[in-house]
Every structure is written in structure tokens, then in C-alpha cells.
């Protein structure tokens, strides 16, 4: 097989000049806001946030070369003039004293914290020497090196590109820790993971989608803007969250029984003839089979499964079916329990049978502004092996992988050995369930490289840490966000990089020079141009858009979403049949249940608890708990326990308790008694007890979720299951 060299799309690159290397962008000054005094030079730069995936566009104020504050860009349609606490606190990230300030090479044992500073060249040499050696030991199979990353920063594309030109199939990206189950579930019914028109919905059901704290603009903003009273919110969650506080009804559902609730809703809607027969006749297949299937799932049956009364289920089903803009929100992080994909299918079907699709206040496929491709063609290697966990998942996303089965196989070297892990923007030791297992994997590896601006727990256990410049110091290429109101955004630097740090594109394209392809050509040949030229190339079809980006941080086009295009036949849903699929022939062919069949979650056992996880509004995962501007609000996490359960165990608020799971995980943490959690569940916030002493504000404080979570996965989507952890608890 011949090796084709990767080339950026030549046409779009023609005539590309430098973007101005961060100069033109930096000079944008809003006349309305800038009030420089004689001594102070103030300028404003619009860019997009990187503290979570939502990438809200902000207006950054820079005074005398120092970032003072980030304010929301009022015209940005996705966040609608909002900037959350985390986004605000992001202004301090370049100045964090605990940043990694230059490449670091480990000198002591892993995790011992002995490092030496290195030049970039030294670090690259070190990585290449070790990596090339283990690849040679594996017979030249580059599949022994794996690549972990979280999508969401636009530089991640380059890391992904590096994996592809390096020639390893083993990408383990974040979707199976996040939303792969809901994507599979909704795709199988609607052909897509649609947007939800929360703004126009008069009847909204949220099942464990904690939009007030798991912030996802514009849905979160729209939730707060719905006039209370005229619009109903039904919220199902074993915990009383901030979203529960906004709801007309909080239903503390028994964990793992959401499918029973959805099936019983359909039993009522179809049984009482409240379904939208016209929509079903014109746009759906498999209604007869579904109607027959849900006859068994009565509200009385569901009451026993869910702890939600049959009366409530009937009332909600009737109101839902008769409100013309009702919607059952699909969910986001759906790494919950066993039947996750089928649960999401059931929720999709509740929407379908009342026609909550392609109508205001319902589900609608999002739109995306097309950008010209500026990446590369794939490289080919004659030595190729399929990814490790290829056969373990029905719907494998080859570019993303499935973390839990992948880690199990890597631990067993099944069917081949993994010798190295390159990590970009993922805190694998603190965000993967069962930290001990991940540590065990780390112990097996010969080379671990971590690209992170901070010394995360994962970086602390790596061999080489390559500090990326923060999002406020770099240019990130343009990205189209698929939304109800589609936009294109990018990032431009507010300040020059502090310390000896670089953006990912520079890091991977420089590192690539130390590796060769099968033709003997350096892999750096596959990296052409610069982030500037890629950005220009991507925008080739949108004249003037670069100026808009520089000025506003985003642009939109006349691409506008119109309701009714699917109903009128102008557009077709992207399923195999071109119809909304209630009964799935595709699932049946793959040996999966074509209709969602409910199975009761396993009993947790006397005196035990189910541990569930969930977001906190002022923190992102494991990465912000040590931000000083946020840490003051919660210096340590505490485990929520219902007073009824606590009394039986003699536990009071403030007591230190010991929690143990079934697979050797245990943590010590303070207790917080609250009626805001079911008596059979426990919860605490994420981000604490980091493994890294270089995060002093959270090192040794509280407990880590990754330390108590057991590892389980679901085989349809490969999704991790974070609510299958059963724990015992007692006073320490
Ligand atoms: N502030 C903040 N916002 C974020 C993020 C962040 O880290 N911080 N992260 C972003 C990301 S990546 C994601 S994926 C989203 C995730 O946002 P969400 O999808 O809202 O996810 P979580 O908050 O993790 O969990 C939702 C809720 O499910 C509840 N729950 C547990 N078990 C069950 C059950 O069986 N049934 C029901 N009905 N509920 C259950 C939990 O108690 C929890 O409150 O948030 C995004 N927004
Ligand atoms: N216990 C538990 N586990 C979970 C979840 C949970 O709720 N609880 N949620 C799951 C979900 S929904 C998701 S999406 C994943 C998220 O998993 P991760 O993406 O691993 O989560 P973060 O804690 O945000 O870690 C991101 C890392 O990237 C670094 N970082 C930040 N900015 C940059 C940058 O610009 N460049 C680089 N190179 N690095 C950067 C941060 O310092 C941090 O170390 O976790 C999943 N796992
Ligand atoms: S929701 Fe908050 S943290 Fe996330 S991108 Fe927007 S401002 Fe940043
Ligand atoms: Mo996520």
C-alpha cells in the first residue's frame, strides 16, 4: 500500500496571508466601552470561553496588557448575553501561580512529584525516543500508542490529526463518558440528536437534565426566561437541584426507572387516544407495534417502578399530549444505567407520538453554517490493527472509542498491548470511574504524555507535561456550532502567551518532526500552514466573516431555522426509512430489542445506597474547583444524605464518614444531611481531592468521585455508567 501524504485543501489556502498574528484582533476597541485614561491603555477583545464546552462568546477587557474582566457579548445568540460564574473566573487562568510554566520531564517515580524543567526540543526528543522504542518492540505497530482527549477546544482537532498521521486507531475521546447514549437513542428514532426549542415550549419535562446547574446555553438561559406560571416545568431527579427549585413539580424518581415513566406516559397517551394521529400517519413507522407494546406498561405498574404516583403520571401524560408546544427534553450526560440507549429511545418516542417535532417548542434538527474543510487527507500504514475494543460495542464511533471497555482490554493487553498514552485536555485519572483501575493502567504504560496548562492529577502521574497556552493567549480556528440559531466562532488572544507555553497546533506539528511515516518522511509534512491560514481557509466561502469574527467573536449568516420543513416534505429525517422510527428494524437486525423493554435495576440491598453524580453550577468537572475565584464558594465537598437514612446510621451533618463501593473503592468525606435527596441515594460534587499537590486548594480536600465510582458500561453505545455504583457508608 502506498502512503499518501496529507495536504491541506490547496484551493482554499490559495492567497492566504497571515491573519495579523494576533495584532489586528487585539486592536479591536469598542468605542462604547473603552474609556482609557492617560495612564491606562484599555482595549476590548471578543473571543470565546473555554471553561466548558459551550464556548460562550465574551468581550474581554484588557488594561495595560492585563486581562481585567470578561463580560458577555450581548449579541451572541447562543448565550443570549449571559456569562456564567465559571466563565467570569476564567479571566484569572493565565495568571494562576500553579500553571505549568514550561515543559516538564519526570525524574522520580510516577506521582512522586519530582520533575525537571526541559526545553521543548528536549521534551520532544524524550517523547520520540521512548515512543519509537516501544513501537519497535511491538513490531512497528503504532496501535500500541493511544490518544485520549475531550472535544470542545478547537485545538483538539490538531491533536486528533496527530493521532491519525501517527497511525494509531486507538482514540479514546470523551463521548462515551458524556452523551453517546442519548445521541444513539435519538438518532435511531429521529436520525439526529436534535436541538430542543426550550424558549417556546409551554410544557417542559426534564428527567435528570439539571439545566440550572449543568449549564448549557441557550437551554439554560431559556429555562430561566420562561415566565413562571404560564409555562409548566416537570422535573424528575432523585435530588432536589436548582432546576427542581424552578419546577412546578419535582418528582424524586427512583434512579434507573425513567424508561418506565416514559413507557407509562405512552400507555396513557395512546390508550386515551391523545396521540397525534396525523403526524404519526405521515411521518412515523412502527406505531402499531409501539401501541401494542406499551399496553402492558400501565401507570399503576410504573408507580411501583418509579415511586411516581399513577395519578401524577396520568396527569402529566394528558397535559403533555394536549399542550401544543410540549417537549420532553432528551438529556445530555446520559452515562447513567444499564438501558441508557433504550431509555433515550423511549423518551424520543414520547415526543414523536404527540408530534413534538418540527414545531415551535419541540425538537428540531439543529443547523450548521458550512465551513470549508481545512484539514487533511488520511495517512495509510501497512501495519494496521483495528482499535482494541472494536467488537465490544454495537454502535462504535471509531474516532471516539469507548473508554470503559477500552481500558479493560488495555489492562489485559487484549488482543494486543498498549504501551503509551498521549493525553490532551482530559483528566483521565479524575474523570474516569474507578481511579484505581486507571492508575493500574498508568502503571503498565511505558510513556505517558499530558498536554494541559495545569498540573491536573493526570499530569501529575505523567512522564512529560507539555503546557498548552491558555485559551486567552492563543488563536483557535473557526468552528461552526450547530444550534437553533447557528453561529461560527473562534478564539483570538487577549494577551501574548505567558511563560514557555504553546498552542496545541505548534506542539503537535513540532513533535511530528521527530516521527516518520512508512515512507521515511517526517510527520511534520502533514502539518501545513498555521492556525491563521486554516482559519482563513475555513472561512473562504464567507467573505468578510473574518473581520466579523475579529470584531464580535462570532458571525451568523442568513441560514435560519424554519419550522415545518420536515412536515411539508421539504426535508427528510436522516433515518434509514426516512421516517421517524418508533419500531427499529435496524435494532432488530443487530439483535437488539426493536422497542424499549423495561428491566428493573438490580436491588441495591439492605442498608446500601446508590451513588449518583451531577453538576455544580460554579464548577466544571474536575478542572475549576481550584480556581481561587470559585473555590471560596465551596472549599470542600460533602456527601448528601437524607436525614431518615442518616439517623439510622447515627450520622450528623459535619461527621466524617467512610464510604465503600463493591470493588475496593473507598473515600472519607464529611456528611451533609438534606431532604434534597432520596433516602436510598448519596451524592457529592465533583472536582475535589485531586491527586495533584500542585492544586493546593483541592488537594486532600473532600473526596473524588472517580475514587468511589465503580466501572460499568453499556454495550449499545459503549457509554460508561456512572449511577451503577452501590456503596456502604458509616461514621469514620
Ligand atoms: N456548571 C456546569 N455546567 C456544565 C458542566 C459542568 O461541568 N459544570 N458540564 C457540561 C457537560 S460536559 C455536560 S455533559 C452537561 C451535563 O449536564 P446534565 O446532563 O444535567 O448532567 P448532570 O448534572 O451530571 O446530571 C443530571 C442529574 O441527573 C440526576 N439523576 C441521577 N440518576 C437519575 C435517574 O435515574 N433519573 C433521573 N431522572 N435523574 C437522575 C442527578 O441527580 C443529576 O442532578 O453539563 C454541561 N454544563
Ligand atoms: N466522576 C465523574 N466523571 C465524569 C463525569 C461526572 O459527572 N462525574 N462527567 C463526564 C462528562 S459528561 C464529561 S464531558 C467528562 C469530562 O472530562 P474531562 O474533559 O476530563 O473534564 P475536566 O475536568 O474538564 O478536565 C479537563 C482537563 O483539561 C484541562 N484543560 C483546560 N483547558 C485546557 C486547554 O485549553 N488545553 C488543554 N490542553 N487542556 C486544558 C484541565 O486543566 C483539565 O485537566 O467527564 C465524564 N466523567
Ligand atoms: S456556560 Fe459558562 S463556562 Fe461554559 S462556555 Fe459559557 S460562560 Fe464559559
Ligand atoms: Mo459532558
- Name the pLDDT band for 11 (thresholds 50, 70, 90): very low
For ligand 2, the distance from its centroid to the CA atom of residue 32, given in whole angstroms, is 37
Burial of 397 (0-12, 13-18, 19+ CB in 10 A): middle
For ligand 1, the distance from its centroid to the CA atom of residue 219, given in whole angstroms, is 13
* CA gap 371, 488 in Å, rounded: 9
pLDDT for the residue numbered 38: 58
Residue 374: other Cβ atoms inside 10 A: 24
Of 596, 722, 574, 590, nearest to 661 (Cα)?
Answer: 722
For ligand 3, the distance from its centroid to the CA atom of residue 63, given in whole angstroms, is 23
Residue 649: other Cβ atoms inside 10 A: 16
- Name the pLDDT band for 37 (thresholds 50, 70, 90): low
Q: Whose Cα sits closest to atom 4 in ligand 1?
A: 214
pLDDT at 36 > cutoff 90: no
Q: Whose Cα sits closest to atom 4 in ligand 3?
A: 52
pLDDT for the residue numbered 15: 28
pLDDT for the residue numbered 109: 97
* CA gap 270, 289 in Å, rounded: 12
What tens digit of pLDDT does each residue of 599-619 get? 999 999 999 999 999 999 999
Write out residues with Cβ below 6 Å of ligand 1.
Answer: 52-53, 178-179, 207-210, 213-216, 236-239, 241, 253, 255-256, 258, 331-333, 336, 612-615, 617, 619-621, 723
Beta carbon of 89 within 6 Å of any ligand 3 atom = no
- The region, left, alpha or beta by phi > 0 then psi within -120 to 50, assigned to residue 220 is alpha
Place of cell 528536549: 122
CB 416 within 8 A of CB 385: yes
455, 467, 622: which to mutate for ligand 2, most atoms within 8 A of CB? 622
What tens digit of pLDDT does each residue of 405-452 get? 999 999 999 999 999 999 999 999 999 999 999 999 999 999 999 999
For ligand 1, the distance from its centroid to the CA atom of residue 332, given in whole angstroms, is 7
Burial of 564 (0-12, 13-18, 19+ CB in 10 A): exposed
pLDDT for the residue numbered 230: 78
pLDDT for the residue numbered 379: 76
The Cα-based distances of 63 to 29, 59, 60, 498 in angstroms read 12, 13, 10, 16
Mean pLDDT across 376-401: 90
Tell me the backbone φ, ψ of residue 411, rounded to 5 degrees: -65, -35
For ligand 1, the distance from its centroid to the CA atom of residue 72, given in whole angstroms, is 24
Instruction: Give SS3 for 320.
Output: helix
Mean pLDDT across 281-307: 98
pLDDT at 39 > cutoff 70: no
What tens digit of pLDDT does each residue of 200-226 get? 999 999 999 999 999 999 999 999 988
| Planar angle of CA 60, 64, 67, nearest 5 degrees | 30
HSE-CB of 407 using CA atoms within 13 angstroms: 26
Percent of the chain past pLDDT 70, that is, above it, reads 94
Maximum C-alpha span of the chain: 77
Q: Whose Cα sits closest to atom 45 in ligand 2?
A: 431
- pLDDT winner (highest mean) among 33-47, 254-268, 620-634: 254-268
Mean residue pLDDT across the chain? 93
pLDDT at 4 > cutoff 80: no
pLDDT for the residue numbered 373: 83
Mean pLDDT across 564-584: 97
Domains and CATH numbers, the chain: 5-95 (2.20.25.90), 108-175+373-471+496-547 (3.40.50.740), 195-364+563-589 (3.40.228.10), 609-731 (2.40.40.20)
Tell me the backbone φ, ψ of residue 638, rounded to 5 degrees: -140, 150
pLDDT at 525 > cutoff 50: yes
Mean pLDDT across 516-525: 93
- The region, left, alpha or beta by phi > 0 then psi within -120 to 50, assigned to residue 580 is beta
Q: Which residues contact 136 (CB under 8 A, 6 or more apart)?
A: none
CB 122 within 8 A of CB 489: no
For ligand 4, the distance from its centroid to the CA atom of residue 11, given in whole angstroms, is 36
Mean pLDDT across 286-312: 98
- The helix (run of H) or strand (run of E) holding residue 638 is strand 638-641
Instruction: Give SS3 for 155.
Output: coil
pLDDT at 340 > cutoff 50: yes
Q: Which residues contact 239 (CB under 8 A, 6 or more apart)?
A: 252, 612, 614, 640, 676, 677, 678, 681, 683
Strand-pair partners of 480: 488
pLDDT at 9 > cutoff 90: no
- Name the pLDDT band for 153 (thresholds 50, 70, 90): confident
| Planar angle of CA 337, 340, 341, nearest 5 degrees | 160
* CA gap 140, 133 in Å, rounded: 9
pLDDT for the residue numbered 597: 98
For ligand 1, the distance from its centroid to the CA atom of residue 335, given in whole angstroms, is 9
User: Quick one: three-class SS letters along 513-560?
Assistant: HHCECCCCCEHHHHCCCCHHHHHHHHCCCCCCHHHHHHHHCEECCCCC
pLDDT for the residue numbered 32: 35
Beta carbon of 86 within 6 Å of any ligand 3 atom = yes
| Alpha-helical segments (H) within 99-241 | 120-137, 156-166, 180-190, 219-225
For ligand 1, the distance from its centroid to the CA atom of residue 209, given in whole angstroms, is 6
CB 170 within 8 A of CB 445: no
53, 93, 217: which to mutate for ligand 3, most atoms within 8 A of CB? 217
Which residues are in the CB-under-5-Å shell of ion ligand 4? 178, 333
Mean pLDDT across 537-549: 96
| Planar angle of CA 236, 250, 204, nearest 5 degrees | 65
CB 237 within 8 A of CB 331: no
* CA gap 212, 230 in Å, rounded: 19
Nearest listed ligand to the Cα of residue 87: 3
Beta carbon of 84 within 6 Å of any ligand 3 atom = yes
Nearest listed ligand to the Cα of residue 91: 3
CB 21 within 8 A of CB 394: no
pLDDT for the residue numbered 375: 67
pLDDT at 8 > cutoff 60: no
- DSSP letter at 138 equals T
pLDDT at 24 > cutoff 50: no
CB 347 within 8 A of CB 302: no
Mean pLDDT across 506-528: 95
Percent of the chain past pLDDT 90, that is, above it, reads 91
What tens digit of pLDDT does each residue of 361-379 get? 999 999 999 999 876 767 7
pLDDT for the residue numbered 628: 92
The Cα-based distances of 725 to 84, 175, 239, 527, 611 in angstroms read 31, 20, 16, 44, 6
* CA gap 365, 382 in Å, rounded: 40
Q: Convert 185-195 to b/e letters by CB count within 10 Å (16 or more is b).
A: bbbbbbbbbbb
Amino acid at each position: 500500500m502506498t502512503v499518501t501524504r496529507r495536504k491541506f485543501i490547496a484551493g482554499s489556502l490559495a492567497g492566504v496571508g497571515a491573519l495579523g498574528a494576533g495584532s489586528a484582533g487585539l486592536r479591536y476597541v469598542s468605542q462604547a466601552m473603552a474609556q482609557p485614561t492617560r495612564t491606562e491603555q484599555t482595549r476590548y477583545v471578543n473571543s470565546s470561553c473555554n471553561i466548558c464546552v459551550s464556548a460562550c462568546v465574551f468581550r474581554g477587557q484588557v488594561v495595560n496588557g492585563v486581562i481585567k474582566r470578561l463580560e458577555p457579548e450581548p449579541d451572541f445568540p447562543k448565550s443570549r448575553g449571559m456569562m456564567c460564574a465559571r466563565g467570569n473566573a476564567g479571566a484569572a487562568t493565565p495568571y494562576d501561580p500553579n500553571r505549568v510554566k514550561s515543559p516538564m520531564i519526570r525524574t522520580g517515580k510516577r506521582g512522586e512529584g519530582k520533575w525537571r524543567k526541559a526545553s521543548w526540543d528536549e521534551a520532544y526528543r524524550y517523547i520520540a525516543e521512548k515512543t519509537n522504542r516501544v513501537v519497535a518492540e511491538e513490531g512497528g505497530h503504532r496501535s500500541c500508542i493511544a490518544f485520549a482527549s475531550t472535544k470542545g477546544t478547537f485545538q483538539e482537532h490538531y491533536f486528533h490529526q496527530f493521532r491519525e498521521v501517527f497511525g494509531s486507531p486507538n482514540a479514546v475521546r470523551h463521548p462515551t463518558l458524556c452523551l453517546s447514549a442519548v445521541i444513539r437513542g435519538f438518532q435511531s428514532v429521529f436520525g439526529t440528536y436534535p436541538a430542543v426549542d426550550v424558549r417556546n415550549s409551554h410544557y417542559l419535562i426534564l428527567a435528570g437534565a439539571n439545566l440550572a446547574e449543568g449549564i448549557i446555553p441557550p437551554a439554560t438561559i431559556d429555562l430561566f426566561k420562561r415566565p413562571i406560571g404560564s409555562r409548566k416545568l416537570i422535573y424528575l431527579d432523585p435530588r432536589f437541584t436548582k432546576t427542581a427549585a424552578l419546577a412546578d413539580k419535582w418528582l424524586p424518581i427512583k434512579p434507573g426507572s425513567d424508561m418506565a415513566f416514559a413507557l407509562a406516559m405512552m400507555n396513557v397517551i395512546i390508550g386515551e387516544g391523545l396521540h397525534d394521529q396525523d403526524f404519526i400517519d405521515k411521518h412515523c413507522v412502527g406505531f402499531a407495534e409501539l401501541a401494542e407494546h406499551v399496553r402492558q406498561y400501565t401507570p399503576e405498574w410504573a408507580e411501583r417502578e418509579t415511586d411516581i404516583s399513577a395519578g401524577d403520571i396520568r396527569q402529566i401524560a394528558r397535559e403533555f399530549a394536549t399542550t401544543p408546544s410540549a417537549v420532553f427534553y432528551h438529556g445530555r450526560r446520559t452515562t447513567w444505567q444499564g438501558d441508557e440507549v433504550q431509555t433515550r429511545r423511549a423518551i424520543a418516542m414520547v415526543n414523536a407520538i404527540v408530534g413534538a417535532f418540527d414545531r415551535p417548542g419541540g425538537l428540531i434538527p439543529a443547523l450548521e453554517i458550512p465551513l470549508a474543510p481545512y484539514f487533511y487527507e488520511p495517512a495509510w500504514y501497512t501495519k494496521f490493527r483495528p482499535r482494541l475494543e472494536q467488537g465490544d460495542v454495537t454502535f462504535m464511533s471509531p474516532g471516539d472509542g469507548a473508554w470503559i471497555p477500552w481500558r479493560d482490554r488495555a489492562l489485559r493487553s487484549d488482543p494486543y498491548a498498549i504501551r503509551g498514552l498521549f493525553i490532551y485536555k482530559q483528566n483521565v485519572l479524575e474523570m474516569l470511574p474507578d481511579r484505581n483501575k486507571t492508575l493500574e493502567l498508568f502503571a503498565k504504560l511505558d510513556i505517558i504524555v499530558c498536554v494541559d496548562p495545569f498540573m491536573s492529577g493526570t499530569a501529575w502521574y505523567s512522564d512529560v507535561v507539555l503546557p498548552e497556552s491558555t485559551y486567552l493567549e492563543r488563536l483557535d480556528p473557526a468552528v461552526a456550532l450547530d444550534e437553533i440559531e447557528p453561529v461560527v466562532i473562534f478564539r483570538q488572544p487577549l494577551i501574548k502567551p505567558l511563560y514557555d507555553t504553546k498552542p496545541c497546533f505548534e506542539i503537535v506539528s513540532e513533535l511530528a518532526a521527530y516521527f516518520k511515516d512508512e515512507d521515511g518522511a517526517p510527520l511534520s509534512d502533514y502539518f501545513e500552514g498555521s492556525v491563521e491560514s486554516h482559519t482563513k481557509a475555513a472561512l473562504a466561502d464567507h467573505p468578510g466573516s473574518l473581520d466579523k469574527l475579529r470584531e464580535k467573536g462570532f458571525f451568523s449568516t442568513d441560514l435560519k431555522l424554519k419550522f415545518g420543513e420536515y412536515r411539508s416534505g421539504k426535508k427528510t429525517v436522516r433515518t434509514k426509512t426516512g421516517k421517524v422510527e418508533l419500531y427499529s428494524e435496524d435494532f432488530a437486525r443487530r439483535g437488539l430489542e426493536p422497542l424499549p423493554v423495561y428491566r428493573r435495576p438490580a436491588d441495591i440491598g439492605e442498608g446500601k445506597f446508590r451513588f449518583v453524580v451531577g453538576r455544580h453550577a460554579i464548577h466544571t468537572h474536575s478542572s475549576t474547583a481550584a480556581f481561587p475565584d470559585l473555590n471560596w464558594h465551596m472549599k470542600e465537598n460533602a456527601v448528601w444524605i437524607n436525614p431518615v437514612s442518616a439517623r439510622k446510621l447515627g450520622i450528623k451533618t459535619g461527621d466524617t464518614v467512610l464510604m465503600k463501593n463493591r470493588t475496593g473503592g473507598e473515600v472519607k468525606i464529611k456528611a451533609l444531611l438534606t431532604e434534597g435527596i432520596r433516602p436510598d441515594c448519596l451524592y457529592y460534587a465533583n472536582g475535589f481531592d485531586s491527586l495533584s499537590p500542585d492544586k493546593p486548594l483541592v488537594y486532600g480536600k473532600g473526596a473524588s468521585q472517580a475514587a468511589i465510582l465503580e466501572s460499568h458500561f453499556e454495550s449499545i453505545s459503549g457509554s460508561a455508567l456512572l449511577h451503577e455504583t452501590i456503596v456502604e457508608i458509616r461514621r469514620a
